Structure 1
């Protein structure tokens, strides 16, 4: 059984720990007395310990990552923009963080609509001004088997985009950009995008009338 299989014991523990962390965040948001605060802080610490045990990640770093959010816990939203040329090659950027290739994208910022978020991300990471054609998929990161697993829930929005003009990407985030056929893909940053998702984006490029794909 693969460690990413939903029924694998380690994966079941990780998912339970993610839920515990979310419950702790909710409890700390609405705690009405010191007793409740202390109890939910203990739940948060337990979630960090479980996540550290099953993932091997540093517990201090996990505690910092989980503590970045406040208020009612909700999934984070990741947006990705897929652009194809006349030869059905996809525009990819090489991440400075890990040296691997991905569709341009990232976390949606508060105050941006999803479309505004993906237009900004494609401009910054790939140097392309784009128009958004359609939403290809609204997918759950865990359900799609992205690796490595994260300590938070993530919803991924993939948009089909049309390039209006090309410029220079932000050198702080991007090492280089390139156009690739799906039969000649470079090493992908699989925490961000998978070959399956790129093939689904190409299918929607070929036939924009396809319905949006949903988890």
Structure 2
């Protein structure tokens, strides 16, 4: 799904942030600050969010703008995949979340799966590295990469966490109502291809 206004706003914001990070000239700094304001105005016009909230969202970012990273765990059992129900929207997603500073992607997903489902796992394969903008997720102010890592259960018991209200395994043909901010149906279906063909190569973009 294409949201050209959002693509423009995000690109302008990224360029302005990079300019503010590296510019020393006061006049250039003024121009980059104006560009950041323009990007916020575009967001306000099309989303209805208050300008102050948008400015806070953008001005809290510093340094060279890069995509944020969201890591998701893919745990198969009896031809089904592990999913957790998110308390924020009561919809289902692969366990995971934003990568924490100081942890590798595999360390992050082990932590996230344990916190959200109660299972102890070991990572075994990188399945996919996807650009969120190239998949049918709802529009977002920031640019995200999504990392899908296959894991195996080695212990633990199903226990909900602070952010989850349900834990269950689902088959490919019986998926629940999905939290599309976190994963889409087409992504889940594609991930099942790795269960059907363990030699399938990692996918990207």
- From 195, 202, 209, the equivalent of 2:199 is 209
Deviations 1:87-117 (A, max 9, x none): x111111111111110011111121111111
- The 2-side partners of 1:63 and 1:98 are apart by 25
1:197 maps onto 2:187 in alignment:
yes
Question: Partner of 1:98: helix, strand, or coil?
Answer: coil
- 1:186 maps to 176
- 2:49 maps to 57
> Structure 1 regions of 5+ residues with no counterpart?
6-10
Q: What is the count of residue pairs matched by the alignment?
A: 205
**1:170 and 1:72, CA in 2 relative to 1: closer, same or farther beyond 3 A?**
farther
**1:169 and 1:69, CA in 2 relative to 1: closer, same or farther beyond 3 A?**
farther
**1:55 and 1:111, CA in 2 relative to 1: closer, same or farther beyond 3 A?**
same
> How does the TM-score come out when normalised to structure 2?
0.93
1:78 maps onto 2:70 in alignment:
yes
> How does the TM-score come out when normalised to structure 1?
0.89
- The 1-side partners of 2:124 and 2:50 are apart by 41
1:117 maps onto 2:108 in alignment:
yes
- The 1-side partners of 2:81 and 2:49 are apart by 33
- From 136, 143, 152, the equivalent of 1:153 is 143
Q: Which ranges of 4 or more aligned residues in structure 1 deviate by more than 4 Å?
A: none
> Structure 2 regions of 5+ residues with no counterpart?
none
- 2:37 maps to 45
- 2:126 maps to 135
1:27 maps onto 2:19 in alignment:
yes
- How far off its partner does 1:73 sit? 0.3
Question: Partner of 2:133: helix, strand, or coil?
Answer: coil
Do the aligned residues in 2 keep the contact of 1:75 with 1:153 (CA within 8 Å)? yes
C-alpha RMSD of the superposition:
1.6
**1:61 and 1:120, CA in 2 relative to 1: closer, same or farther beyond 3 A?**
same
